[in-house]
Structure 1
Amino acid sequence: MLYPRRCPVCDGFLGGKEPLICRKCVAGLQLLEGPVCLRCGKPLERKDQEYCRDCGKKRHSYERGFAPFSYRGMIQESMMRFKYGGRAEYAKFYAAAVMAYGKRLLEYWSPDVMIPVPIHRERLLKRGYNQAEELAVRLSSMSGIPVERRAVLRIKNTKAQKELNDVERKKNLAQAFSIVKGYSPPRRILLVDDIYTTGSTIDTLALLLKKNGAQSVYFACVCVSPGDT
């Protein structure tokens, strides 16, 4: 049975000639432009800034990252459906957006492999898929960067990060991940996730990967939370 295609942004039905998103969303959707943080890619308030306040006062374990969208408005609602509403097919559009926005950075970083941020098996059973893995698989087919889905495990079913402050996030993620037995991380790694907020998850994974042999860890997400710029 064929189901009508839906726009990943507004969830409305797509016309036959509308490729990935509807005409209305094409007109209203905006990629991040102007000054962004040189570390995490969050939008900045002033052109003379190089880093957001968070990156200015915190030393991250990763090198750099980016995201094409700010986590608000239509995109925020869309990401909720993608993550919790069974809309795994949204990954095709969002991977294309990540690729179009970050192509030059990906070419410059030249990662050996991309690793999707893992979710705990209980959440995987509940959702039916890992949205980060769906993104990574499609991004891999577009970029040619191989994806490694069995590199890191989430061994602790942590609380939802969105409910916690920065200190609580770090405590929540303590010993949450483990390298799969026998896996040796390559030198340059790209982590893939849906939303970047404070960077606690990316930092935790980057530190773990570096302790096991990686030299440089970058990230690509769909959205960055505006947060404290």
Structure 2
Amino acid sequence: MNILDIIFPRRCPLCDEVIPPDGKICPECIGKAELVKEPVCKRCGKPIGNARKEYCGDCDRKKHFFDSGKAVFVYQGAVQHSLYRFKYANRREYAAFYGKMACIQYARWISRLGIDAIIPVPLHRKRRRERGYNQAELFAKEIGKRTGIPVETKLLYRCINTRPQKELNDQERKKNLKKAFTIAQNIVQLRKVLLVDDIYTTGSTVDAAAECLKVSGIQEVYVLCISIGRGH
């Protein structure tokens, strides 16, 4: 047993209880996290109840700048609590579980797209300094490790320290993110990228980031998030 496993015991990413060093998740927690399954919205990837519908209500009403998106889990219950700890309680190790599950579900999709680089949605430097890390970046690096695709962390920057999106309605979210992102270097060599984040709600954050990337010359932007709400 590694000495670090004694000092900092591994915890289940869903219930946060201590687990054996070789364990990944409590047996009792298997099934608590609902995976996103078909039928899903063809644009954002939200699970929808009607298999005959192509798009969720949100995507029917609005234009997105990203080409299409996927998510690993439905945002509810154990996953919702897990992501809160991942973001705000320094549970950085959860990223390994999220990355593994993302690749189990979507490695073939990512390979088929021919992605040139993975780009995490950035935090503003002030918020990153306060938190100590960017959870989207940890998730991106786990996907990159498993797929062999390079992760670009110094390309897209958040230049405005925006208000937390969860405090705002849909229109306020869009306004809040206007001109929030900027490109820091030449990206001519990139044609297709995978933009990753932790939670997809209305898509305002990834849309703002995708718009910035496309204006800068990237042709196709795909999105992969850890979790997503249900569509209607």
1:216 correspondence with 2:220: yes
- C-alpha distance in structure 2 between counterparts of 1:21 and 1:38, whole Å: 31
2:12 aligned to which of 7, 26, 48: 7
Query: Equivalences for 1:136-175 in 2 at 5 Å?
Result: 136-175=140-179
**In structure 2, what is the equivalent of residue 113 of structure 1?**
117
Task: Report sequence identity in percent.
Answer: 47
Q: What is aligned with 1:79?
A: 83
Q: Is residue 2:74 matched to residue 1:70?
A: yes
Deviation at 1:105, TM superposition (A): 1.2
Provide the rounded CA distance (Å) in 2 between the counterparts of 1:193 and 1:16: 28
Q: Is the 8 A contact 2:117 2:192 kept in 1?
A: yes
Q: Secondary structure at the match of 1:149?
A: coil
Unaligned regions of 5+ residues in structure 1, if any? Answer: none
Contact 1:192 / 1:221 at 8 angstroms: preserved in 2? Answer: yes
Contact 2:126/2:161 (8 A) holds in 1: yes
Aligned residues: 227
* 4+ runs deviating over 3 angstroms: 181-185
Report the secondary structure of 1:203's partner residue: helix
Q: Hey, what does 2:134 align to over in structure 1?
A: 130
Question: Cα distance 1:181–1:17, how it changes in 2: closer, same or farther (>3 A)?
Answer: closer
User: 2:183 is matched with which residue?
Assistant: 179
CA contact 1:44–1:52 (8 Å) conserved in 2: yes
Aligned twin of 1:38: 42
> Are 2:59 and 1:55 aligned?
yes
- For residues 96-118 of structure 1, give each alpha carbon's deviation from its aligned partner in whole angstroms, at most 9, with x where no partner exists: 11111112211111110010000
Q: CA deviation at 1:17?
A: 4.5
Look up the SS of the partner of 1:123 in the other structure. helix
In 2, Cα distance between the equivalents of 1:82 and 1:207? 27
Which residue identity does 2:208 align to in structure 1?
Answer: T
C-alpha distance in 2 between matches for 1:34 and 1:211:
32
- Corresponding letter in the other structure for 2:74: S
CA contact (8 A) 2:32 2:78 kept: no
1:186-225 pair list within 5 angstroms: 186-225=190-229
- TM-score with structure 1 length normalisation? 0.95
The one-letter code sitting in structure 1 at the alignment partner of 2:12 is C
Per mean C-alpha deviation after superposition, the further-off stretch among 183-192 and 172-181 is 183-192
Q: Mean Cα displacement is larger for which, 48-57 or 182-191?
A: 182-191
Task: Give the partner amino acid of 1:31.
Answer: L
**Alpha-carbon deviation of 1:181?**
3.8
Q: Distance in 2 between matches of 1:174 and 1:109?
A: 28
Q: 1:23 — aligned with what?
A: 27
Determine the structure 2 residue equivalent to 1:103. 107
In the TM superposition, residue 16 of structure 1 has moved relative to its aligned partner by 4.3
Alpha-carbon spacing, 1:45–1:212, altered in 2? closer, same or farther (3 Å): same
Which runs of 5 or more residues in structure 2 are unaligned?
none
Alignment TM-score, normalising by the size of structure 2: 0.94
